[in-house]
Amino acid sequence: MQISTIAVIGGLGKIGDRVVERLDGRNSPVMNGISRILCRQPKDFFDYARQTAATGIWSFQS
């Protein structure tokens, strides 16, 4: 569904809000696609960010 369609439906009040909640993905079931693709459990983003920051790759150099 396109963003403009969701915006129009969302402008319809409470009924529109309920339709948008159903269609915008927030009620999608949790799936295991990432685990299946990676053949492992996905890494927590906080852990990834902490480990990557520790390498210095994100440090600013002018």
Q: What pLDDT does 4 receive?
A: 57
Q: Which residue has the higher pLDDT, 51 or 17?
A: 51
> Tokens 């927030």 correspond to what residue?
26
Q: DSSP class of residue 52? A: H
Residues 14-36: pLDDT tens digits?
777 777 777 777 777 777 888 88
Q: What pLDDT does 9 receive?
A: 52
Q: What are phi and psi of 6, to 5 degrees?
A: -65, -40
Residues of the chain with pLDDT > 90, as a percent, come to 21
Residues of the chain with pLDDT > 70, as a percent, come to 74
> Tokens 């009924």 correspond to what residue?
15
Q: What pLDDT does 3 receive?
A: 53
